[in-house]
Amino acid sequence: MSNLTMPSVLSFNRKLEPSDAVMHSGNWENIEKKEGWKPIELFDRRNRAVKSNFKQEVLNDEQELKKQIEEPNLSWGDDAALPSDSDTLKVSYSLRVLSGINKPSACNKQAYQDKFTEVIDAYIEEIGLNELAARYAYNIANGRFLWRNRVGAQDISIYVKHNSMEHDLVFDAYDYPLDQTTSNDNKILTLANIIEQGLSGKENVFIQIDAYVKLGNRQRVWPSQEMVLNIPKGEKSRHLFALDGNAAMHCEKIGNALRTIDDWQTGSDTPIAIEAYGSVTQSGVAYRSSNNDFKSLLKKWMDDKTVSNDEKHFVVAMLIRGGVFSEGE
User: For the chain, how big is the Rg over CA atoms in Å?
Assistant: 23
- Tell me, yes or no, if the pTM score tops 0.85: yes
Mean pLDDT of the chain: 91
Choice between 43 and 228, residue whose per-residue pLDDT is larger: 43
Q: Backbone phi, then psi, for 118, in 5-degree steps?
A: -60, -45
Residue 126: the pLDDT is 96
Q: Are 323 and 139 in contact (CB under 8 A)?
A: no
Q: Where are the domains of the chain?
A: 10-42+80-324
> Where does the pLDDT of residue 53 fall: very low under 50, low under 70, confident under 90, or very high at 90 and above?
confident
With 70 as the cut, is the pLDDT of residue 2 above it?
no
pLDDT in tens, 161-218: 999 999 999 999 999 999 999 999 999 999 999 999 999 999 999 999 999 999 999 9
Residue 262: the pLDDT is 98
Question: What does the alpha-carbon distance between residue 95 and residue 181 come to, in Å, rounded to a whole number?
Answer: 19
Q: Are 263 and 271 in contact (CB under 8 A)?
A: yes
Least confident window among 4-8, 52-56, 138-142: 52-56
Mean pLDDT of 118-134: 97
Q: Please count the other Cβ atoms lying within 10 Å of the Cβ belonging to residue 157.
A: 19
> Where does the pLDDT of residue 326 fall: very low under 50, low under 70, confident under 90, or very high at 90 and above?
confident
pLDDT in tens, 84-116: 999 999 999 999 999 999 999 999 999 999 999
Residue 105: the pLDDT is 95
With 60 as the cut, is the pLDDT of residue 44 above it?
yes
Residue 47: the pLDDT is 62
Least confident window among 1-10, 119-128, 290-299: 1-10
> Where does the pLDDT of residue 78 fall: very low under 50, low under 70, confident under 90, or very high at 90 and above?
confident
| HEC letters along the chain | CCCCCCCCCEEECCCEEECCEEEEEECHHHCCCCCCCEECCCEEEEEEECCCCCCHHHHCCHHHHHHHHHCCEEEEEEECECCCCCCEEEEEEEEEECCCCCCCCEECCHHHHHHHHHHHHHHHHHCCCHHHHHHHHHHHHCCHHHHHHHCCCCEEEEEEECCCCCCCEEEEHHHCCCCCCCCCCHHHHHHHHHHHHHHCCCCCEEEEEEEEEECCCCCECCCCECCCCCCCCCCCCECECEECCEEEECHHHHHHHHCEEECCCCCCCCCEECCCCCEECCCCEECCCCCCCHHHHHHHHHCCCCCCHHHHHHHHHHHHHCEECCCCC
With 80 as the cut, is the pLDDT of residue 230 above it?
no
Mean pLDDT of 250-266: 97
Q: Select, from the ranges 226-230, 243-247, 280-284, the one with the highest average predicted confidence (pLDDT).
A: 243-247
> Where does the pLDDT of residue 229 fall: very low under 50, low under 70, confident under 90, or very high at 90 and above?
confident
Q: Are 15 and 239 in contact (CB under 8 A)?
A: no
Per the rule left: phi > 0, alpha: psi between -120 and 50, beta: everything else, 60 is alpha
pLDDT in tens, 306-315: 999 999 999 9
